[in-house]
Amino acid sequence: MSKIFYKNSIFYKKHLDSLFKKKQQKNENSVSLVFLIIKICFSVLAIISLIKLGYSSKVRLTRLREIQDSFLYEKYRFNVLTSRFDDLFSSEGEQRFMKDQDQIISRDIIRVIWR
């Protein structure tokens, strides 16, 4: 009877070992699956963040270009007006100013030029 019990206990232990290994493998697989899902979520989050960062950088660069273009246009206008103002105080600047005014006044209007 002791031999049968011994054989049964060895068989029982082997059975328990195989069940324990299967359960352990199942737990490892579930933990690996959870970590894989977490890695995928972080990867998607990183990709979305990079896309948002790229878009906001593009918008910012577009706005900066618009501001730069506007600044350059205003700077050009300022230089033109400054040179025209300086020309008023040069020799015969008043006459050139009056000629420019003649060009601005339409032909249907009576012109009075004071000299």
Tokens of 107: 């032909």
pLDDT in tens, 3-51: 555 555 666 667 677 778 888 889 999 999 999 999 999 999 999 999 9
The number of residues making up the chain comes to 115
pTM value is: 0.52
How distant, in Å, are the alpha carbons of 1, 2, 32, 108, 110 from that of 9? 12, 10, 34, 123, 126
| Cβ pair 77, 71 in contact under 8 A | no
pLDDT in tens, 64-104: 999 999 999 999 999 998 988 887 787 777 677 766 665 55
In the chain, the amino acid numbered 39 is K
